[in-house]
Amino acid sequence: MNKQEKRGLSTSTFDLTKGKHQVPTCSLLRSLKTMAAPCVDVERLTRALNEPLSELGFECHPLKIGWYNKVLPSSLHLHYHDDTVAVVVLSMPAMFERAFLPFMETNRCQGLSDPVDQCVKHCISTTIAQCFPGQKVEVSYDFEMLPSRKPKFLAQTAAHVSGAAFYYQQSDVTEPPWGNKKRFGVCVHPRFGGWFAIRALLVFEGVEVGAELQKPSSPDCVPSRDARIRLLDDFNLRWQDWSYRDAVPSAQTYSQKQRDYFSTPPAQRPSLLRTWGFLHDQDSKDGLLGPQHDGLGAANGHGVI
């Protein structure tokens, strides 16, 4: 993989009607605008995102906005037509080495926001700009909040309805043993267990699809009552030891370097990055990498780091 691939760059656009790479003069915007809703090829749209992003450790899953809205109260609905096409983007364990560390090496990290958030935003926005030039794509990141302090989207709900992961909640446990105690839910990936994060929701405004896009089944990989109780207890009571991530065998887990980074309190991560040679001392002194979230976000349904 060359440096251009590592940085999430692409030099071609995609024609969804033909499923081929096209030279930049063949704009995907023109294809999307001229296609009637039933003709949109969601598989090729998703592939257009997956081809560059998978090289960086991301995974993309399509959904309809109606699937998401159907399982939520109206106060949490996304205000698009039910058949509007959206894509939820997940990061896999490989993202840290394939995208984040190269991102830090290029010295792109700046400002007050979290370095991982900056990396994710760079990878996704660059891919959209180069694969979908001119197409209106509304991107909501897992770290973004509305003025009401509610999340812009419920990440775990989006992952569940897309079939990317299964969102286990108290309601999924028969005869729950907790009484009046609250247990926040958590998503489990069929291949990576809890070793992943839900990063963004991409809404393709004005792009709709009909019955040819069928809702997939969410992958129930923790089927027993006892295992679900243990999963929710591990997530709510012992999330720092990461045991909930091993609810199912994982194809890959975080590297030791990645574990060291995410185990470090957010306020101390700039210091760790400096020991790795990525930040200048002045950056921390000037507060350029100030308060950073820890990515847990259990209460608002967000994915976890």
Binned at pLDDT 50, 70 and 90, residue 261 comes out as very high
Token digits for 79? 């205000």
| Run of H or E including 200 | strand 197-208
**Rounded distance between C-alpha atoms, residue 105 and residue 255, angstroms:** 18
Res 39: pLDDT = 56
Reported as a single tens digit per residue, the pLDDT across 164-210 is 999 999 999 999 999 999 999 999 999 999 999 999 999 999 999 99
Rg (CA), the chain: 20
pTM passes above 0.75: yes
3-state secondary structure of 30: helix
User: For residue 294, what pLDDT is reported?
Assistant: 45
Q: 20, exposed or middle or buried, with CB in 10 Å at 0-12, 13-18, 19+? A: exposed
Distance CA 84, CA 94 (A): 30
Write down the pLDDT at residue 83.
97
Scanning the chain, the segments in alpha helix (DSSP H) are 3-6, 28-34, 42-54, 65-70, 95, 101-105, 115-131, 155-162, 225-237, 256-263, 269-275, 281-285
For the stretch 1-33, pLDDT in tens is 444 333 333 334 444 333 333 323 234 444 554
pLDDT of residue 32: 53
Encode burial over 274-288: b for 16+ CB neighbours within 10 A, e otherwise.
eeeebbeeebeeeeb
Question: Residues 267-300: pLDDT tens digits?
Answer: 999 999 999 999 865 454 444 454 444 444 443 3
Backbone angles phi, psi at 3, to 5 degrees: -60, -35
51-69 confidence digits (pLDDT tens): 999 999 999 999 999 999 9
Distance of CA 253 to the CA centre of its chain: 17
User: What does the alpha-carbon distance between residue 39 and residue 47 come to, in Å, rounded to a whole number?
Assistant: 16
- pLDDT score, position 110: 78
- Strand, helix or coil for residue 207: strand
- What residues contact residue 280 under an 8 Å CB cut-off, 6+ apart? 274
Please state the rounded mean pLDDT for residues 215-242. 97
Instruction: For residues 79 and 85, give the distance between their C-alpha atoms in angstroms, rounded to a whole number.
Output: 13
Task: Give CA–CA dist 105/117, Å, rounded.
Answer: 16
Dist. CA 248–CA 228, nearest whole Å = 11
- Report residue 53 as tokens: 């992003």
Q: Closest by alpha carbon to 199, among 140, 254, 251, 267?
A: 140
**Per-residue model confidence as pLDDT tens digits over 66-124:** 999 999 999 999 999 999 999 999 999 999 999 999 999 987 787 767 999 999 999 99
Instruction: At 86, give phi and psi (nearest 5°).
Output: -135, 165
**How much is the average pLDDT of 36-48?**
78
Distance, C-alpha 5 to centroid of its chain: 19
AA identity, residue 11: T
- Cα 230-187-210 angle, rounded to 5 deg: 145
Contacts of 300 (CB under 8 A, 6+ apart): 150, 151, 154
131 — pLDDT class (breaks 50, 70, 90): very high
